[in-house]
Structure 1
């Protein structure tokens, strides 16, 4: 039945809506479904229109769920519950599409009430309602209730690929990735959303190699991917530091005809930057037909962490010339570029310039960048002045930047004062304790070092183990500090010892200043051999030839001893070694590092 003709009045306010409603009432058309839906669609945009919508529905001569349903999805849970009460009081029975519109945002008490209503209305056997209830329990962090419903409440007729995928995705979001994987492996049917739920779940949990394993399984099935799966796989390569795998995924995207939108393109640029190949990142960036702010920021940030300050600044100015206004992320990236190269004057200039010209209000992270800039350069008084003059209380990131600078420049008094404060602000971060202990150990204050370690024990804080990942011929291997579980364990240890012996002949002297234990120097030197990046490099030397490039990703900051050793290894064994640590990239070549020993 088509709507009777009436001259529409543009509706932008409640006042105009009432005028239009009055005209419809005079013409006897207010109850026509098409006109009623138009009025309700406008009222659904704002909870303030709910009372008027409720009166309109209450006086409708033939109310039905199709009039109510569009309102539910747009209302906050409290208002949606009130509207549902009105609907039930008319009385009007909800249909299969009513409750699924309320459940996604429902808090737990409301979700439980709606569950009871579903049972009462016999809708629990309807797949759409059942799946919405599963999602609601997961959204409220109740994986146990979702699982109980999934196992006991579902039938073969109800459980579909959406049900299984909802469970997998919900468990992943709550951090239960192993349980999610068990369900995923038992799925009778999978679609692209299912595969992406598991891949992205592993990515969010930091289990990048597992994510790539699932991605490989998906490709074996012959299922065509999409942009979401591609982005998840690219991010997994980024996290694993797996450049060769990243290239494979990039080729797969191009060959599959997946549209390279800005989000995916930025992920690819970020992957190449963070896997150590700025040149490939630059080629992808340059080939983008249109560059959004996110793409510019990603490329500037990539150049920054590789210590290529001049190029990062030049790209920033190119961005300005193309009339792309920077944002607070751009400011962080430009300041980071200056900090990683000791460009103090540049950092001062661009902080003032970008803030004043573009009206960006400095945030905590910008002050943290300035503290880092001054701190790395040894200007600890200026770094402290930035903190004192900040318009807000410094957070752990800002204080941590000053604390790290005190460790680098051996300022024991300021470092100790800041260190204890940082530990109290971030009591479960093992790195803070280790940094303070290292600072105290450098002064020979072993009693205070023991005090720090005792505090860690009392708070059940364990030191984060150093882990390094190396990719050789598309094979990704992980090594952990102090331990080695690998089929070639004997060969790797033998190579590590030979590696250290040969660089010793070139002048290498172990730097034991960061070794915590008050033990004999010989024992300290032995412990340095088992640092994860040395084991990874030794493995790389077994698998590569002179002239090859090795790429290592480490979860912690490179220590001074490993930095010096890697410089000599690059020269003695004729390899380029690219190391990505927690803060930046180091490109070791012919006995030198791209950071110029400034990191």
Structure 2
């Protein structure tokens, strides 16, 4: 147009600025802004509004503010652009300040304003401010708007208040796929995967067509629950629908790889990964993380070589996965080489996560002094996970003196975290210092460090069952207790000896044995054996680290019943088969 000698005007600049905004073309937008100034059109309300919107969508809120402050008059659209822009840039507090200022200047908010304000509360995780906005939305009559309703559901979900999200959801006169996605993803975030799956089923029953975001949420829920069959069912639907959202194929594929890995099926994870038409660094990190979780160190190394051959640049997460894989597989030399190349070749500065992996790598291999020196050399304050890694190594290798030092350091960092006290207490029984074990437990109680109750999940016939220690609520509990009694006799005859020293209660030995028999993972295993066909693998998930007694007894059970039992705890995957665990008794 300009080459033909035609002079642009306000009607030209507005769509050109909108084009820059949609493309996030900040530099081109600035060039257009210069021409606007030269043409004298900067004072036009529509041009000013488009400039604010362009800068906001390009993430340059300083430029947006400069234009905004110069405007002689500002309508609701201009204010909305500023509020939405700050929300997009994770500046929720600033967005709320503008919302307040807007009303003080007499500008009435509309549905777009409220969407921006609620989204800002979500990004800022400001539940109380979100509730205040919600009250104003109701007074303004915008609560029936589907877009406002979706934002409210999303805000409450991101703030961890699923009850409030449910209330908004139930009152909405109309709901679309975005509404359902907010509930599904919200329950995943709040670790309520079973509810995500229930919403997915209900959504389909009501005839709402799922999209790629829906499937990512459901697959993530299945991963959290180790609901392999439910995940496979979702995978089949993804195959049927993927042509509708080809732009999300990598995102969905990454979620599937992660789900299969976390459900204990690395064969399926590898198959999905190898069949992906496109892969990014997240794809590689996901498969490497899966190998690390399962202790497949050599396969992780092979895939990393392939990653480099394909020209994918590794990032910091890649090396966390590699170091973790080397740690679980005992590949000390390889781990040291990766740690060196990360700094020297790829110029990636180590983070707390990398140091934790290195401490774990050295500690597992028995190099306790090197591991402790690694913590001392850290440029930042050690994380509790770093101390826990070394504390666990001290327990395995029986180094009580170092364990005490590390335990004190841990308690200074996390005085209210019970995990360190429990692990520290477990160091002493092996050395015969029972009274010291009791002292640690007393110290934990004095500091009110609450022990997280053990909880275990198992999927049978596409339904996830939950068990807690000494559970009495399950409808099959009579049969489960009978099965546990049967298994107890068989494992004792096979040579199993209960680890009663890990029971920190001051009770008789017989009661300690009874307590151990009713740990949540044992209840889940007994339930699985009763409700699945002989030879069927059992897959269970626990929210805590598997205790020594459950680890030992599960090895015996796997051999006696001829089953593979897969247990995913907070540290790694344990594959129990023929009386042996894949972790080689180090976890």
Give TM-score, length-normalised by structure 2. Answer: 0.88
1:365 Cα deviation (Å)?
A: 2.0
Q: Tell me how far 1:245 sits from its aligned partner.
A: 0.9
Correspondent of 1:538 among 526, 540, 549: 526
**2:49 aligned residue:** 68
Query: Equivalent of 1:463, from 436, 444, 451?
Result: 451
Equivalent residues of 1:65, 1:95 under 8 A apart? no
What SS does the aligned partner of 1:490 have?
A: helix
Measured after TM superposition, the shift of residue 464 of structure 1 is 0.9
How far apart in 2 are the matches of 1:344 and 1:157?
61
Deviation at 1:550, TM superposition (A): 0.8
How many Å separate the matches in 1 of 2:79 and 2:550?
60
Tell me what 1:246 maps to.
231
**Residue equivalent to 1:215:** 200
1:100 paired to 2:100: no
CA distance in 2, matches of 1:555, 1:429: 15
After superposing the two structures, state which structure 1 stretch, 100-109 or 219-228, moved more: 100-109
Structure 1 residue 292: Cα displacement? 2.1
Q: Which residue of structure 2 lines up, in the alignment, with residue 21 of structure 1?
A: none
Matches within 5 A, 1:306-321: 306-321=294-309
Q: Hey, what's the Cα distance between the residues in 2 that align with 1:152 and 1:291?
A: 45
Counterparts in 2 of 1:481-492, with a 5 A limit?
481-492=469-480
Higher helix share: 2
SS at match of 1:98: helix
Provide, for residues 65-88 of structure 1, a one-character-per-residue CA deviation record: whole Å limited to 9, x for no partner.
34333324625666645543432x
CA 1:349–1:5 in 2, change beyond 3 Å: closer, same or farther? closer
Q: CA deviation at 1:392?
A: 4.2
- 1:168 corresponds to which residue? 153
Deviations 1:300-326 (A, max 9, x none): 221222122222222222222333333
Per the alignment, residue 131 of structure 1 pairs with 115
2:478 matches 1:498: no
1:441 CA drift (Å): 4.5
Give the corresponding residue for 2:134.
150
Tell me, what secondary structure is at the counterpart of 1:552?
Answer: strand
Q: Mark the CA change 1:447 to 1:220 in structure 2 (over 3 Å): closer, same or farther.
A: same
User: Distance in 1 between the 2:25 and 2:250 partners?
Assistant: 32
- Residue aligning to 2:501: 513
1:346–1:219: structure 2 CA closer, same or farther, 3 Å change rule?
same
**CA distance in structure 1 between the partners assigned to 2:277 and 2:122 by the alignment:** 40
Q: CA deviation at 1:395?
A: 2.9
Mapped contact 1:224–1:256 kept (Cα < 8 A): no
Deviations 1:201-259, CA, capped at 9 Å, x for gaps:
11111111111111111121121111111111111111111111111111111123354
In the alignment, which residue of structure 1 is the partner of 2:335? Answer: 347
Give the deviation of 1:380 after TM superposition: 0.7
Contact 2:14 2:50 in 1 (8 A): no
Answering whether residue 380 of structure 2 is matched by residue 388 of structure 1, we say no
- Report how far residue 116 of structure 1 moved: 5.6
> How high is the TM-score relative to the length of structure 1?
0.87
Q: Is 1:452 the counterpart of 2:440 in the alignment?
A: yes
8 A contact 1:344–1:373 mirrored in 2: yes
Alpha-carbon shift at residue 387 of structure 1 (Å): 2.6
Distance 1:53 1:514, change over 3 A: farther
Spell out, residue by residue over 1:28-71, the C-alpha distance to the aligned partner (whole angstroms, 9 max, x if none).
Answer: x586552588699799948x979x97994996486223433332
Q: Match for residue 16 of structure 1?
A: none
Q: Could you list the runs of 5+ residues in structure 1 that have no partner in the other structure? A: 8-26
1: CA distance, partners of 2:130 / 2:327: 48
**Offset of residue 518 of structure 1:** 4.0
Secondary structure (helix, strand or coil) at the match of 1:478 reads strand
Q: For 2:295, what is the secondary structure of its paired residue?
A: coil
Gaps of 5+ in 2: none
Closer/same/farther in 2, CA of residues 202 and 497 from structure 1, 3 Å limit: same
- For the pair 1:34 / 2:12, whether they are aligned, the reply is yes
Q: Distance in 2 between matches of 1:344 and 1:107?
A: 45
Is the contact made by 1:65 and 1:98 (CA closer than 8 Å) also made in structure 2? no
5 Å-filtered alignment, 1:578-597, equals 578-597=566-585
Which deviations, in whole Å up to 9, do the C-alpha atoms of 1:540-590 show, x marking residues without a partner? 111123211111111112122111211111121122111111111111122
Which range moved further: 223-232 or 77-86? Answer: 77-86
Query: Is contact 1:468–1:478 with CA below 8 Å preserved after alignment?
Result: yes
Q: 1:417 Cα deviation (Å)?
A: 1.0
Classify the secondary structure of the residue corresponding to 2:540: strand
Query: Do structure 1's residue 299 and structure 2's residue 249 form an aligned pair?
Result: no
Residues 511-565 of structure 1 show CA distances to partners (whole Å, capped at 9, x for unaligned) of: 2232223433222212110111101001011112321111111111212211121
Pairing of 1:63-462 with structure 2 (within 5 A): 63-72=44-53, 74-75=55-56, 80=64, 83-87=67-71, 90=72, 92=73, 94-104=74-84, 105=86, 107-108=92-93, 111-112=96-97, 114-115=99-100, 117-118=102-103, 121=106, 123-124=108-109, 126-154=110-138, 155-156=140-141, 159-257=144-242, 258=244, 259=246, 261-462=249-450
The structure-2 alpha-carbon separation of the partners of 1:111 and 1:299, relative to structure 1 and needing over 3 Å to count, comes to closer
2-structure distance, mates of 1:61, 1:203 = 47
Q: Distance in 2 between matches of 1:392 and 1:559?
A: 31
